Structures are given as structure tokens and as C-alpha cells.
């Protein structure tokens, strides 16, 4: 499979420099060569002139805006042009056969090492080069000019070096893929760390505000209770009840905010995931009446996970509420709850918070409006919402992030606009210690 390098402009500039250099070398070589005859001078001028024109044309079209597939094609054309020069010079001046063979070998190895293409591209270029050389040495050039033994040695050298260059191209391409995969993984981990730091900072900030609001709400509740006890008019009592109810809602919200920064250990116990998912499905069915159908897919034989069942249900309820809002007014809505075993054998960029081990993954997938990449970056921030602010309630998915962090698990969200959202919760360690069980060999 072909790989697309993240910086094609680098290769475009390098390819342009190489093409110009080849053209200059070809022209300089023509003016510094002693020709065996005027006919040879004429033929070499024609060969080198055509080849130089092609290389200059390639240099002119090597724009940094070119895609990598286009640059590969141009590099391949440049390689074929070099084959044309070397073979053409060999036919006109057979005495330079070894010099031109060395040029072909240098071109093949340079392409193998520096061009970001697979061994198939390299093998095709090598096949063209050795085929042209074989035809020239065995069918075109007279045996009086290049004897059969010398021609055979040249061809064997080209075949061997060409095969080695194909192997080198495969090794170089594999190395590039490994570097690119490591770069993607490191970028994902860096992004995860930045998000964690941002969430921690927001959590500390929200926790400090929550403490202050808790004190204010406590005073409001106390005074509202005293006034309610002394109220003699029914209308005044009703208004005081509304004040007290609003203050209690605010107190519940500040309590949830304080949980974001609380470091108290959660009591994790072996929990039957299938039972939890079934309970969530019943709850979702009641919440999504006339909005979406609910489907459940639970794998057989799932091991217990270390969890606080109430908190897990609380987190999943928040996800169901978001799914309900996302599917509101969209016909044919569907919420799918799945639970399956998952094994992570090495650090996985999809699960940067998870250590290698055996886990149970619970996924909730809806067919709602989905989220953009910008929204996904902020989705775990407290109070972040894609709804109008006057419709937002609670902390949103920050609650889910907190719950999974306290479970020493992980959470991942996959979403695209107009294609729905999938929230994946990863939990393991049924013995109550959290984290995943060690993966088997």
C-alpha cells in the first residue's frame, strides 16, 4: 500500500534540484567530452539535448503544491530519462559502457533510498533499466566494440545491483512507515496529554468556584427555609419553595463539579457488565420513546470488571441523554449498546490512557448529528455543549471522563458530522484493582 508523506513540498524541492543538476551535468559533459567522430558528436548532442529538455520540464512542473502520487510519477519519469541518457550514450560511445553502467547503478540506489515509493515502483524502474541495457548490449552494439564477455559482466552487475536496490527500496519504505506510525502515535499521545492538562486546569478552576458557590447556596437554602417556616401567604410560600428547589439544583451541580477535582478512591467491585448494559438499555428505552430504537449486543462469557455500578450507570445515562438530543427530530434513530472483550497488547494511539492488558469495552452508538473535529477536542470540558446554552444542563461528558478516570479505565469518542457518535468505555481488572488484566502471549 502506498504511503503519503506529510510534507510533499520537501520532495518537490529535492526533485527539482536533482532534475536541474542532471541537466547541467549532461550539458557540461557534452562540452568536455572528446568525440570519436563528428557523427558521434551529433548523436550525443541529440540524446543529451532531448534528455536535458525532459529534465528541465520535470523541474518546472515540480511544484510544492504537487501531491505525493504526482511527485512519484515525475520521479519515475526522471529515472526513465536517466536510463535513456545512459543507454543512448553507451550505444553511441561503447567505450563508456562501464561508466554508464555505474551511472545506472547510482540512479537505482538513489531512487531506492530517497524516493518514498514501494518496492513495486522500484522494481518497475529497474526492469526498464536492465531491459534497455540488455537490448543495447546484446542486440544493438556490435561485438567488435563490446565483446560478449564484457557485455555479460555489465549485465550481471546491473541485474545484481538492481535486485539489491529493490530490496533496499522495501527496507527504506518499511522504515518510513514505521517512522510515520511512531509520529502519528506520538502526536496522539501529545494531544491526549494536552487535553488532560487542560481538563485538570478547568477542573481545578471549576472546583474553586464550586466551593464558593456551595457556601452561597448554603446560605440561600438556610434563609429560604427560615422564611418558608414563617410564611403565612400561600403565594409567598410557593415562591420560597421555588427558590429552595433552584438552590438545591445548584447545590447538586456544585457537588458534581467538586467531584471533578476530588481524589477520593472509588470503591470498585467485580461487576457483571452484561447486567449493567441490560439495565442501561431498559433505561434508554424509556428515555428514547418515539425518538429512537434501542439495540443491545453483548458478547457471551464476558469477565467481570472492576467498577462502581452506580457511577457506571450514571456515566452511561449522560451519554444516552446526549444521544437523545442528537437524534431529536431525525427519523429512523437508533441507539446501539455493545459490550465485548478487547485486548491491548502494546501502547495503542486509539487508547492512549490504557495500559496493555485485557479489558471489556462498552460502546454506545447513536445515529444523531455527530460532531466536528473541533467539537471533539473540547467534548470533555465541563459544561461544553453543542446545544444552545439555554438548553444545556449539567456538566456534560466531563462526568463520563471523570467516572472512567476514577475507574482507571479509558474513554474514546468517534464521531463525524451527520454520521452519528460512538462513545467507547474501556474497563477491566475484575479483581477490584482497576486497570486491565495482563494480556496473554
Q: Which residue has the cell 474553586?
A: 208
Q: Percent of the chain having pLDDT more than 70? A: 86
Q: Which residues contact 355 (CB under 8 A, 6 or more apart)?
A: 344, 435, 436
Nearest to 100 by CA among 139, 169, 62, 150: 150
Region of poorest pLDDT, from 136-140, 166-170, 246-250:
246-250
Helix, strand or coil, per DSSP, at residue 103: helix
Helix, strand or coil, per DSSP, at residue 387: coil
Region of poorest pLDDT, from 195-199, 274-278, 406-410:
195-199
* Predicted local distance difference test score (pLDDT) of residue 199: 63
Residue 366: all three cell numbers together: 447513536
Query: What is the mean pLDDT of the segment spanning 356-367?
Result: 91
* Predicted local distance difference test score (pLDDT) of residue 351: 82
Rounded to an integer, what distance in angstroms lies between the CA atom of residue 82 and that of residue 70?
19
pLDDT confidence band for 198 (50 / 70 / 90): low
* Predicted local distance difference test score (pLDDT) of residue 206: 65
Residue 431 has pLDDT above 90, yes or no: no
Residue 127 has pLDDT above 90, yes or no: yes
CB–CB of 76/120 below 8 Å?
no
CB–CB of 312/268 below 8 Å?
no
Query: What is the mean pLDDT of the segment spanning 357-365?
Result: 92
17: left (phi over 0), alpha (psi -120 to 50) or beta: alpha
Helix, strand or coil, per DSSP, at residue 341: strand
Angle between helices 148-230 and 234-261 in degrees, nearest 10: 150
- Residue 410 burial class via C-beta count within 10 angstroms: exposed 0-12, middle 13-18, buried 19 and up: buried
Rounded to an integer, what distance in angstroms lies between the CA atom of residue 90 and that of residue 35?
13
Q: Which residues contact 397 (CB under 8 A, 6 or more apart)?
A: 318, 319, 322, 379, 380, 384, 413, 423
CB–CB of 118/172 below 8 Å?
no
* Predicted local distance difference test score (pLDDT) of residue 126: 92
* Predicted local distance difference test score (pLDDT) of residue 340: 93
What is the chain's mean pLDDT, rounded?
Answer: 82
- Paired strand residues for 334: 293
* DSSP 8-state assignment for residue 141: S
Residue 164 has pLDDT above 50, yes or no: yes
pLDDT digit string, tens, across residues 372-407: 988 888 888 776 776 665 455 556 787 788 888 888
Number of neighbours of residue 222 by Cβ within 10 angstroms: 12
pTM of the model: 0.50
Q: Which residue has the cell 457506571?
A: 312
Q: Please report the sign of the dihedral spanned by the C-alpha atoms of residue 250, residue 255, residue 412, residue 178.
A: positive
CB–CB of 350/415 below 8 Å?
no
Q: First CA to last CA across the chain, in angstroms?
A: 29
pLDDT digit string, tens, across residues 293-333: 999 999 998 999 888 888 888 889 889 988 998 998 888 89
Phi, psi (rounded to 5 degrees) for 364: -125, 115
* Predicted local distance difference test score (pLDDT) of residue 1: 38
Q: Percent of the chain having pLDDT more than 90? A: 20
Residue 218 has pLDDT above 60, yes or no: yes
36, 60, 64, 142, 353 from 413: Cα distances, Å: 73, 45, 35, 70, 13
Q: Which residue has the cell 565483446?
A: 147
pLDDT confidence band for 265 (50 / 70 / 90): low
Amino acid at each position: 500500500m502506498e504511503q503519503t508523506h506529510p510534507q510533499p513540498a520537501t520532495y518537490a524541492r529535492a526533485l527539482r534540484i536533482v532534475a536541474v543538476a542532471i541537466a547541467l551535468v549532461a550539458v557540461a559533459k557534452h562540452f568536455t567530452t572528446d568525440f570519436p567522430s563528428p557523427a558521434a558528436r551529433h548523436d550525443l548532442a541529440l540524446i543529451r539535448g532531448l534528455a536535458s529538455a525532459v529534465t528541465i520540464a520535470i523541474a518546472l512542473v515540480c511544484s510544492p503544491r504537487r501531491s505525493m502520487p504526482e511527485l512519484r510519477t515525475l520521479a519515475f519519469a526522471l529515472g526513465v530519462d536517466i536510463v535513456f541518457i545512459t543507454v543512448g550514450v553507451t550505444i553511441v560511445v561503447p567505450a563508456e559502457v562501464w561508466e554508464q553502467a555505474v551511472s545506472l547503478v547510482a540512479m537505482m540506489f538513489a531512487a531506492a533510498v530517497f524516493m518514498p515509493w514501494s518496492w513495486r515502483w522500484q522494481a518497475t524502474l529497474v526492469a526498464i533499466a536492465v531491459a534497455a541495457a540488455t537490448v543495447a548490449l546484446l542486440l544493438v552494439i556490435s561485438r567488435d566494440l563490446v565483446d560478449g564477455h564484457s557485455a555479460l559482466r555489465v549485465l550481471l552487475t546491473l541485474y545484481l545491483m538492481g535486485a539489491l536496490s529493490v530490496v533496499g527500496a522495501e527496507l527504506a519504505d518499511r522504515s518510513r512507515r514505521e517512522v510515520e506510525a511512531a509520529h502519528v502515535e506520538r502526536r496522539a499521545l501529545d494531544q491526549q496529554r494536552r487535553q488532560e492538562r487542560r481538563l485538570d486546569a478547568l477542573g481545578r478552576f471549576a472546583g474553586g468556584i464550586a466551593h464558593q458557590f456551595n457556601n452561597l447556596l448554603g446560605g440561600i437554602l438556610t434563609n429560604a427555609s427560615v422564611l418558608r417556616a414563617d410564611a403565612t401567604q400561600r403565594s409567598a410560600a410557593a415562591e420560597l419553595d421555588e427558590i429552595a428547589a433552584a438552590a438545591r439544583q445548584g447545590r447538586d451541580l456544585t457537588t458534581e463539579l467538586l467531584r471533578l477535582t476530588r481524589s477520593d478512591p472509588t470503591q470498585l467491585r467485580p461487576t457483571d457488565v452484561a447486567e449493567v448494559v441490560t439495565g442501561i438499555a431498559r433505561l434508554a428505552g424509556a428515555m428514547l420513546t418515539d425518538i429512537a430504537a434501542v439495540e443491545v449486543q453483548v458478547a457471551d462469557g464476558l469477565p467481570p470488571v472492576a467498577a462502581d455500578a452506580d457511577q457506571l450507570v450514571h456515566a452511561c445515562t449522560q451519554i444516552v441523554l446526549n444521544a437523545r438530543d442528537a437524534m431529536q427530530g431525525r427519523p429512523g434513530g437508533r441507539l446501539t449498546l455493545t459490550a465485548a472483550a478487547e485486548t491491548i497488547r502494546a501502547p495503542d494511539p486509539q487508547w492512549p490512557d490504557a495500559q496493555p492488558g485485557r479489558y471489556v469495552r462498552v460502546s454506545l452508538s447513536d445515529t444523531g448529528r455527530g460532531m466536528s473535529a473541533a467539537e471533539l477536542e473540547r467534548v470533555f470540558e465541563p459544561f461544553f455543549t453543542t446545544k444552545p446554552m439555554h438548553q444545556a444542563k449539567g456538566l456534560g461528558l466531563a462526568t463520563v471522563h471523570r467516572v472512567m478516570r476514577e475507574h482507571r479505565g479509558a474513554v474514546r469518542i468517534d464521531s463525524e458530522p451527520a454520521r452519528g457518535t460512538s462513545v467507547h468505555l474501556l474497563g477491566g481488572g475484575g479483581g477490584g484493582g482497576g486497570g486491565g488484566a495482563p494480556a496473554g502471549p
